[in-house]
Each structure stands twice: as C-alpha cells, then as structure tokens.
C-alpha cells in the first residue's frame, strides 16, 4: 500500500510539473512576469526568490503550479497599478495584457508538454524494451496437434480476419464465440502471407485441459522494437493513435450518459488511478513507464477539451476573443470557470465514491480475460 501511494504521488507530480513547466517556459519566453513556480500545493514549506520568481516547495506533494502575474484577471484587464502597487511597465508584463495568440500558446504549452513526455517514454520503451501494440486482427501463436484448428489447416502466424463474417479483434470475444458455437460449424476468414482464404471447423465441446475448443493459442498484440533514430517517429504515431482512442472513449461515454442515460463504466478517479498505479508498479518498470505515458496522454486530452476551468476552456474564450476582436466579459468568463470547476469536482467526487465502493468489493478496473 505504501509503495502504491508513493508511486502514485511521484507519477502524478511528474505529470503535473511537466504540464506546468510548459506554461512556465513560454511565459518566460514572452516576457510575462512569473511570480511563483511551486512544487506541490500550499501551504508553502520553503521558497527562494531567484530574479523576480519565487521557486517554492509546498506541503501537499501532488503536482505543482505556476502563478503568472495578471492571470487571475486574465479575461478582463482589471489589474490596476494602484491596487498592486507596481509600475506601469509591469502592467505590460501581465498575462491578460499580452496578445491573444501568446496567451493561447502559453495555455496550450502545458498540453503539448504532456504529449511530448508520452512520446519520450514510448520512444524509450520502443528502443530499450519493445512495446506491446494492439494488432488489427487476432493472430495465432500456436496450433495444437489433433485439434479442429490443425484439421482446418490453420498455422502459426495466421491472422483471423472474421468469424462467420463478423469482425472480432479481442481475444476474449474470440474465445467466447468458440465456446458458444461448440459442436457447430463456423467459418473463419484467415489471412496468411497477405492472401485471404476461408476455413471451416467445428469447435469441440470436450477438449483437453488448457487447449480450448479450437486448439489454438491466440493474441491481439505484438511486440514492436525500433532503433533509437526511428523510435521517436513511431513513438509519436503511437501517442497520436492513443490520444484519438482516448478522445473516442470520452465521446462514447458522453453520448451514452447524455443520450442513453447509461452510467459510465471503466472510469477511474484518484483512488482508481492509484490502484492502477500499484498494479502497474507490481508488473515492473516497463509497465510503469507505459502506464505513465498513457496517463500523460489522458491528462493532455482531457485538458484540451473546451470545458470551463480546464486549459481547453480558457482557449475557447481566447478563440472567441480572436474571432470577435474583443475580450469576453470577465464576469461571464469567471462565472463559467466557476461552474465548470464545480461540475468537475462533483464528477471527481462521484467517481471517487465509485472507486472506493469497487475497492471495498474487491473488484478490479482491469477486465478479466
């Protein structure tokens, strides 16, 4: 339990700090005054001012933050020199006073940094260990002797394109289909060396222990490994692919909830993520790094959504400003962010209750195969 908590805090801190580092670096690049760059969240334990920025260590060791001058008044330009007792020169360095494109870049930089972190981790895994990548079709790893698969002429490395005309690319679905159709003839569309052919076979009702109805060992993943000079390219492709998968999953969740009223499943809050972190750590460094990369992509995708209180929400208001030529009323923007934050906190609380209930019941977030 202690290892899980420590690993969770370390991974979460790295992800958030990398995100905030993006905001920090571009704010500095554009000459915006950075008041504080903190590790953890207040209350402050230690702080040292270097130049105009305070670098602090705070009591709550989860993530970090960047405090930009004029950020709280971002929409409306309400910072006044008499209020803050600063020179008019400093007002030009306030976040809200910068051009819309610069503000958008600073906000977007956090998301980009999370994406880059995922690419770096995936690229390293491609080079050092190899990465298990989902395949388009189920592949046969082994065919046992005197089995229906052998009688049908199936061989190692064959790809199963479809079963009775239906596309199936999950090993569990394949196994369930074979068991449900035991004793009945089924048709497999098989690809071998680029050529597609059909095979007919009858799954066994009674079969030797460990073999299954068809007598094949199957997988829907393959280990990919690349040299260091091409790993970043393929790492980027995988990061993009998984980002779209995450976005698709979120879209389906919203549609099922709003249109069909279905309660979302397979979603993890802080407790659930901590549980998954412990499981990843128990599998070793490769699983931990891969899990960290996926978390970083999740953070990037969720943050870019046009939801008030998130980076995407702030970008949305800047986009409106760029189209209309004037800033959104700061009161309306502040109200939208407040409502968005309240909804997000309510969702996190709801998911946390679900995580705790699942944890107490002994259920796992990972599907059983």
Catalytic (active-site) positions: 20
- In the chain, alpha helices (H): 2-29, 81-84, 88-91, 100-128, 148-151, 171-180, 231-258, 270-283, 285-304, 311-324, 330-361
Tokens representing 100?
A: 């819309």
Q: What is the distance between the alpha carbons of residues 90 and 79, in angstroms, rounded to a whole number? A: 10
CB 52 within 8 A of CB 33: yes
Tokens representing 134?
A: 């989902």
Spatial CA neighbour of 68 closest among 80, 56, 54, 82: 54
Residue listed under structure tokens 């960290």: 292
- Three-class SS state of 365: coil
Q: What is the distance between the alpha carbons of residues 158 and 141, in angstroms, rounded to a whole number? A: 8
- If you ran DSSP here, which 8-state letter would residue 166 be given? B
Residues 6+ positions from 331 with CB-CB distance below 8 Å:
76
CA atoms within 13 A on the CB side of 337: 20
Q: What is the distance between the alpha carbons of residues 33 and 68, in angstroms, rounded to a whole number? A: 6
Q: What is the distance between the alpha carbons of residues 314 and 309, in angstroms, rounded to a whole number? A: 7
Calculate the CA 71 to chain-centre distance.
Answer: 27
Q: What is the distance between the alpha carbons of residues 107 and 269, in angstroms, rounded to a whole number? A: 24
- If you ran DSSP here, which 8-state letter would residue 79 be given? -
Overall residue count recorded for the chain in this entry = 369
Tokens representing 83?
A: 């209020």
Is omega for the bond preceding 43 within 30 degrees of 0, making it cis?
A: yes
Residue listed under structure tokens 């993009």: 240
């Amino acid at each position: 339990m202690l290892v899980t908590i420590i690993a969770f805090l370390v991974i979460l801190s790295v992800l958030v700090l990398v995100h905030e580092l993006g905001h920090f670096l571009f704010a500095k690049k554009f000459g915006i005054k950075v008041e504080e760059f903190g590790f953890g969240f207040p209350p402050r334990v230690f702080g040292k001012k270097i130049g105009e920025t305070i670098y602090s260590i705070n009591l709550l060791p989860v993530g970090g933050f960047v405090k930009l001058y004029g950020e709280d008044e971002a929409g409306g330009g309400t910072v006044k020199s008499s209020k803050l007792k600063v020179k008019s020169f400093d007002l030009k360095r306030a976040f809200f006073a910068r051009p819309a494109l610069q503000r958008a870049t600073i906000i977007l930089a956090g998301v980009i940094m999370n994406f880059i972190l995922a690419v770096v981790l995936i690229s390293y895994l491609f080079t050092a260990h190899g990465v298990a990548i989902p395949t388009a079709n189920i592949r046969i790893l082994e065919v046992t002797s005197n089995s229906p698969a052998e009688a049908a002429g199936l061989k190692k490395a064959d790809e199963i394109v479809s079963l009775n005309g239906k596309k199936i690319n999950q090993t569990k679905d394949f196994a369930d289909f074979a068991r449900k159709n035991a004793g009945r003839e089924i048709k497999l569309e098989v690809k071998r060396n680029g050529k597609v052919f059909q095979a007919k076979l009858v799954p066994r009702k009674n079969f030797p222990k460990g073999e299954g109805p068809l007598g094949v060992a199957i997988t829907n993943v393959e280990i990919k490994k690349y040299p260091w000079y091409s790993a970043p390219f393929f790492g980027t492709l995988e990061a993009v692919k998984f980002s779209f998968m995450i976005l698709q999953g979120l879209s389906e969740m919203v549609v099922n909830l709003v249109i069909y009223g279905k309660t979302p499943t397979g979603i993890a809050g802080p407790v659930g993520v901590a549980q998954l972190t412990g499981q990843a750590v128990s599998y070793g460094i490769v699983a931990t790094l891969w899990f960290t990369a996926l978390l970083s992509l999740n953070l990037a995708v969720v943050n870019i959504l046009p939801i008030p209180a998130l980076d995407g929400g702030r970008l949305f208001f800047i986009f409106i400003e760029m189209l209309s030529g004037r800033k959104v009323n700061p009161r309306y923007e502040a109200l939208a962010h407040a409502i968005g934050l309240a909804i997000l906190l309510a969702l996190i609380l709801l998911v946390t209750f679900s995580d705790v209930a699942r944890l107490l019941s002994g259920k796992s977030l990972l599907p059983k195969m």
